[in-house]
C-alpha cells in the first residue's frame, strides 16, 4: 500500500520552471538501471533516461565507483589549472571524431556549450547573425535562448538582433510538397535561405541545428538535407554548428548522428549524454578555428570549465560505451523498440506516425482527427498519466499543438525485457486513454 508522503506539498517552496508549471505527482527517492522509485515504493520504467541524459541508466556501477574515487582525490580546481582527467577526456573525445575536430572545451550544460560555440563563431567570423530551426531547443542562456524557437520567446523583451528561423523539414507534417504530396525539402531549404538572405544585414556567422530535432518533435532530417545545409553555409561563409546534446555518443546507433550522412561540422557541441546524467558538456572544433579564436581573444572562463570530477565521469562513460559496444546495442534495442511501436501504430488508430533512429524515437498521436481540435494534446496528456499510473515514465513534446508527440529514449543499457514491458504498458495506456476520452 502507498505510504503517506513526508512532503505533503513538495512544490511549495519551488519556483515553477517549466511552461506547464507542474511537477510529477510523486517524489522520486531512488533510481537504479532503467527504473526510478517513488516515495510510496512504486517502480517506474524510465523511458526518458532522466532528462534524455542517463544513457548508461541510473547509478551505473562504473559511474558510482568513479565519482567515489575521484571526489576523494580531486574534485574542483581553479579554472586555469589542468588535471589528468581533463587532458585525457579531450584527447579521447578527439579520437572519437573525424578530422579536423581535434580541440575540446569542457563545460557543464548543453546551453553553456551552445553559448560558447555561438560566441566562438561570432568572434572567428567577425559576424553576428545566427540561423536555427523554427522548432529548435538549444538552451536557456542568452545566445542559446535567442537561437531557440520552440518555447520561451514571449514576455522577456527583445531577442538579440540577427537571429533567423529556418523551416523544419518535417516529413510527417510537410509545409511544401512535391507532385506526389511528399515533402519537397530542397525547395523548402532554398526558400528558407532566400528569406534569410533578404533579412540579413550581410553578417551571417553560423547555423546552429540538431541532426535530429528532439524537443521539436523527434524530426529526423531527410537524407541529403544536412549535406545541402552545409553547402548553404559554405556559400555564405557561415560556420555549421551541430548540437548533439541528445543524439551524441551512440544513442542513435552511431557515435554521432552526423556520421549517418558523413557531414563534418565546423563546431560540435555534446552535453547530456557525455556525462550520462551528470553535468558535463563539450565544444569541439578544428585547430584552425581554435587558433583564430585564440588570436582574437576568445573568452569563456567559467567556474566549472575543465573541472576534474565531471571529466573523470566522461572518461568512464567512454570506457563503458566502448567496452559494451553500446552503439551496436542501441541499434539492436532501437530496432526492437521500433518494431514494438510500429505494431502499436497498426493496432491503435490514434497513433499517426513512428519515427527516429536508434534509441531516440518519436510516436505521434492523431487525436485532433478523432477527438477534434486540441484532441492530440488531451490524448497525449491522458496517455502520459495512464503510463505513469501503470509504471512507465514517458515524455511528451511541450509545444502548443504538439502535445501528442512522445519522445522515447530509454537508456542504452536497458534489457530486452524492459523494452518489451514498456511497449506493453504503452499499449494498455493508449487503449485506456482513447476509451476514456
Residue of 112, 184, 210, 254 marked active site: 210
CB atoms closer than 10 angstroms to residue 79 = 14
Residue of 70, 246, 307, 355 marked active site: 246
Q: Is 243 a known active-site residue?
A: yes
Residue of 184, 243, 266, 418 marked active site: 243
Beta strands per DSSP E along 374-420:
392-393, 395-396, 405-408
CB atoms closer than 10 angstroms to residue 199 = 10
249 close to 273: Cβ distance less than 8 angstroms: yes
Question: What phi and psi, each to the nearest 5 degrees, are found at residue 178?
Answer: -90, -170
Residue of 272, 338, 357, 386 marked active site: 272
Residue of 137, 377, 386, 418 marked active site: 137
Can you give the C-alpha Rg of the chain in angstroms? 22
**3-class SS letters over 363-378:** EEECHHHHHCCCHHHH
What is the distance of C-alpha 283 from the center of its chain? 15
Q: Is 232 a known active-site residue?
A: no
Q: Is 122 a known active-site residue?
A: no
d(CA 335, CA 343): 12
Q: Residue 399 is placed in which grid cell?
A: 509545444
Q: Is 137 a known active-site residue?
A: yes
d(CA 405, CA 353): 9
Q: Residue 342 is placed in which grid cell?
A: 510500429
CB atoms closer than 10 angstroms to residue 435 = 7
Which of 273, 215, 218 minimizes the C-alpha distance to 96? 273
Residues with active-site annotation: 137, 210, 243, 246, 272, 407
Amino acid at each position: 500500500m502507498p505510504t503517506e508522503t513526508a512532503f505533503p506539498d513538495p512544490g511549495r517552496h519551488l519556483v515553477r520552471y517549466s511552461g506547464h508549471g507542474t511537477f510529477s505527482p510523486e517524489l522520486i527517492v531512488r533510481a537504479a538501471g532503467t527504473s526510478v522509485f517513488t516515495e510510496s515504493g512504486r517502480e517506474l520504467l524510465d523511458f526518458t533516461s532522466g532528462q534524455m541524459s542517463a544513457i548508461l541508466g541510473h547509478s551505473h556501477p562504473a559511474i558510482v565507483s568513479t565519482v567515489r574515487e575521484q571526489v576523494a582525490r580531486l574534485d574542483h580546481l581553479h579554472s586555469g589549472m589542468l588535471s589528468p582527467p581533463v587532458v585525457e577526456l579531450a584527447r579521447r573525445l578527439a579520437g572519437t571524431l573525424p578530422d579536423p575536430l581535434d580541440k575540446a572545451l569542457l563545460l557543464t550544460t548543453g546551453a553553456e556549450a551552445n553559448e560558447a560555440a555561438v560566441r566562438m563563431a561570432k568572434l572567428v567570423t567577425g559576424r553576428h547573425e545566427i540561423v536555427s530551426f523554427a522548432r529548435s531547443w538549444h538552451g536557456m542562456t542568452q545566445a542559446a535562448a535567442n537561437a531557440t524557437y520552440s518555447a520561451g520567446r514571449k514576455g522577456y523583451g527583445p531577442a538579440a538582433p540577427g537571429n533567423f528561423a529556418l523551416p523544419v523539414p518535417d516529413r510527417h507534417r510537410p509545409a511544401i510538397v512535391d507532385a506526389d504530396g511528399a515533402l519537397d525539402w530542397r525547395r523548402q531549404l532554398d526558400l528558407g535561405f532566400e528569406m534569410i538572405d533578404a533579412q540579413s544585414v550581410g553578417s551571417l556567422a553560423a547555423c546552429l541545428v540538431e541532426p535530429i530535432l528532439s524537443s521539436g518533435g523527434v524530426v529526423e532530417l531527410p537524407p541529403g538535407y544536412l549535406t545541402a545545409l552545409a553547402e548553404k553555409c559554405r556559400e555564405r561563409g557561415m560556420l555549421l554548428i551541430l548540437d548533439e546534446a541528445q543524439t551524441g555518443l551512440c544513442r542513435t546507433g552511431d557515435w554521432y548522428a552526423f556520421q549517418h550522412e558523413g557531414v563534418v561540422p565546423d563546431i560540435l557541441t555534446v552535453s547530456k549524454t557525455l556525462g550520462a546524467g551528470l553535468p558535463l558538456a563539450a565544444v569541439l572544433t578544428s585547430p584552425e578555428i581554435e587558433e583564430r579564436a585564440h588570436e582574437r581573444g576568445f573568452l569563456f572562463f567559467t567556474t566549472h570549465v575543465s573541472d576534474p570530477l565531471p571529466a573523470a565521469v566522461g572518461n568512464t562513460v567512454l570506457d563503458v560505451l566502448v567496452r559494451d559496444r553500446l552503439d551496436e546495442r542501441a541499434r539492436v534495442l532501437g530496432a526492437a523498440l521500433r518494431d514494438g511501436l510500429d505494431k502499436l501504430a497498426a493496432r491503435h488508430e490514434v497513433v499517426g506516425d513512428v519515427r527516429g533512429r536508434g534509441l531516440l524515437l518519436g510516436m505521434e498521436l492523431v487525436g485532433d482527427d478523432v477527438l477534434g481540435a486540441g484532441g492530440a494534446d488531451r490524448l497525449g496528456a491522458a496517455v502520459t498519466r495512464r503510463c505513469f499510473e501503470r509504471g512507465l515514465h514517458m515524455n511528451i513534446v511541450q509545444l502548443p499543438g504538439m502535445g501528442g508527440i512522445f519522445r522515447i529514449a530509454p537508456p542504452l543499457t536497458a534489457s530486452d525485457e524492459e523494452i518489451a514491458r514498456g511497449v506493453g504498458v504503452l499499449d494498455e495506456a493508449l487503449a485506456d486513454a482513447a476509451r476514456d476520452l
